[in-house]
Amino acid sequence: MLLVAQIFAGLVLLIHVYIVLLETVLFRTRGAKVFRMDAQKVELVAPLMVNQGCYNGFLVAAIAFGFLWPEPAIARALMMFGLACVAVAGLVGGATVMRKIFFIQTVPATIALAAYALA
């Protein structure tokens, strides 16, 4: 079960690295297409998206530290915290921005959380 948890946590990590890139360095190009925004709206919300990307970077950091921290109890706590934050962020994003955010963020994070709880 630990392997399943690590695979899903790795998937969540990779998804969020991509999200960070979309919301920061790629926002005016690829990010605008993904979020379906016209050029005028892109320029208006770009500073907000960079800020949001920064927060998603913290989620990436929590999960990455969960993989890398040498003390198992601390590593597990970091991983569970990061995954729980992603799951909640996905609920909020799914309710307020795009429904598919729930499936992209919350579902894999919840599967990883459940697998870690059972491991």
Q: Which domain holds residue 72?
A: 2-118
Instruction: Report the distance separating Cα 114 and Cα 9, nearest Å.
Output: 11
Token pair 């989620």 in the structure block, residue: 59
User: Is the CB of residue 62 less than 8 Å from the CB of residue 78?
Assistant: yes
| pLDDT of 50 | 94
Instruction: Report the distance separating Cα 19 and Cα 42, nearest Å.
Output: 16
Average confidence (pLDDT) over 18-33:
94
State the pLDDT confidence band at 93, using cuts at 50, 70 and 90: very high
- Structural tokens at position 94: 């799914």
DSSP state of 119: -
Provide the sign of the torsion angle of the four alpha carbons 105, 63, 83, 116, taken in this order. positive
Which are the contacts of 9, defined by CB distance < 8 A and separation ≥ 6? 63, 66, 67, 79, 83, 112, 116
| pLDDT of 6 | 96
Number of domains in the chain: 1
Average confidence (pLDDT) over 77-104:
96
Instruction: Tell me the pTM.
Output: 0.91
